[in-house]
Homo-oligomer: A and B are copies of this chain.
Amino acid sequence: MTIKDVAAYCGVSVSTVSRVLNDHPDVKDDVRQRVRQAITECGYVPNNSARALVLSRSTAIGVVSRGVDNPFLSSLIRVLSRQIHQLGYTMVLHQIATQDDEVQAAAVLQREKKLLGVIFLGGRFNYTEQELRQLTVPFVCCTYTNTFGDLDRDAYSSVSIHDEREAEKAVRYLVHHGHRRIAVLLDDPADNSIGQLRFQGYRRALEDCGIDYDPALAVITGDYALSAAYDGVCRLIDSGVGFTALMAISDNLAIAAIKALTDRGLSVPEDCSVIAIDGLDISAYTVPTLTTLCQPAAEMARESVQMLIGLIEGTGVHRHRLVETTLRPGGSVAALADT
């Protein structure tokens, strides 16, 4: 079905159909009505791509998401998609594997899809000015910021939690419940990313509370695979090193930890308390319900879109928004009985 078919269908010229499509005033009302009806009846879909080319204007916003399997990012994508669409833009979603480079992916996408801007989800925290030269459109880092890189703060936008401080908060919550032997479950303490920052928060909380750091209590999984987290916690238990609580840097890792503890005959929270950071829907359905610090996913997604569109439309400047988590109390943390 083309514009020619619509014109033939209602017996008018192609340029008349085009004028109706573009809301030009110089079309008689009855003709306009007839054309609109024909468009509906024929199921005609205007070729916006051709129109965009003619107008030399794209509506494409790239969303480059690293880690297809990350359920926290999925919940953000849902909100981004709705928000971008509602504001009259088109979302071009590009999901890449954790080991792939999002800046390179965005640079290619920018050219191929004529992007107006990019929202990065779950990217690296260590961009250099040099590598970002490839990207000539504005971008917003959603869920992270450039902690380990050398970007000028006026050259990009970000919406994130303060990973270190939030991890500190989680550990303090355990200490407040009487725990001092607190294990930590993370991907990598030197990942230049969430793992490193949340691990720093764990260390700082211990230090502030006068608790010595014991490397034997750090379970390092290498990635975010459930199986690696499960195996790591099983090894920790089997090692015989004593611990009464565990802080996982993500909900997913915590789910695997609860499973490992339970399978080894330990009760959560009676024998071991578990806390995490993220706030996934699914972690409200573990047995027991996971106690976690929830990131405000919807707010982060909405804010990212607003920032980017402000930059695209020239009404905003680069900003950095820090958001806070909210404790979702579950059943996985208990006070340690005095002995």
Query: If the complex has contacts A1-B134, A81-B68, are A111 and B282 also in contact, measured as CB distance less than 8 A?
Result: no
Residues in B whose Cβ lies below 8 Å from that of A230? 285
* CB proximity to B under 8 Å, residues A10-64: 43, 45-50, 52
A43 to B128, CA, bound (A): 14
A71 to B258, CA, bound (A): 20
Residues in B whose Cβ lies below 8 Å from that of A43? 131, 133-134
A259 to B112, CA, bound (A): 47
Residue among A47, A93, A226, A289 with max Cβ neighbours from chain B (10 Å):
A93
Residues in B whose Cβ lies below 8 Å from that of A200? none
In the complex, what residue of chain B is closest to A67 when comparing beta carbons? B78
A92 to B49, CA, bound (A): 14
Instruction: Indicate if A150 sits at the interface (CB-CB under 8 A).
Output: no
In the complex, what residue of chain B is closest to A257 when comparing beta carbons? B285
Query: If the complex has contacts A69-B78, A92-B92, A93-B95, are A226 and B284 also in contact, measured as CB distance less than 8 A?
Result: yes
Instruction: Indicate if A114 sits at the interface (CB-CB under 8 A).
Output: yes
Count of this chain's copies in the oligomeric assembly: 2
In the complex, what residue of chain B is closest to A94 when comparing beta carbons? B93
A136 to B161, CA, bound (A): 46
Residues in B whose Cβ lies below 8 Å from that of A45? 107-108, 111, 134
Q: How far is the CB of A8 from chain B (nearest CB, A)?
A: 16
A77 to B282, CA, bound (A): 20
User: Do A49 and B114 have beta carbons less than 8 Å apart?
Assistant: yes
User: Do A48 and B285 have beta carbons less than 8 Å apart?
Assistant: no
* CB proximity to B under 8 Å, residues A65-121: 68-69, 71, 74-75, 77-78, 81-82, 90, 92-97, 107-108, 111-114
In the complex, what residue of chain B is closest to A95 when comparing beta carbons? B81
Instruction: Indicate if A255 sits at the interface (CB-CB under 8 A).
Output: yes
Instruction: Indicate if A281 sits at the interface (CB-CB under 8 A).
Output: yes
Contact surface of A with B, Cβ cutoff 8 Å: 1, 43, 45-50, 52, 68-69, 71, 74-75, 77-78, 81-82, 90, 92-97, 107-108, 111-114, 131, 133-134, 226, 230, 252, 255-256, 258-259, 262, 281-282, 284-287, 289
> What 6 new A-B contacts, CB under 8 Å, besides A48-B108, A255-B285?
A68-B77, A68-B81, A71-B71, A81-B96, A259-B286, A262-B287
Provide a sorted-by-A list of 30 A–B residue pairs whose CB atoms are within 8 angstroms.
A1-B134, A43-B131, A45-B108, A46-B111, A47-B111, A47-B112, A48-B108, A48-B112, A49-B112, A49-B114, A50-B111, A52-B112, A68-B77, A68-B78, A68-B81, A69-B74, A77-B95, A78-B97, A81-B95, A81-B96, A93-B95, A226-B281, A226-B282, A226-B285, A230-B285, A255-B282, A259-B285, A259-B286, A262-B287, A286-B286
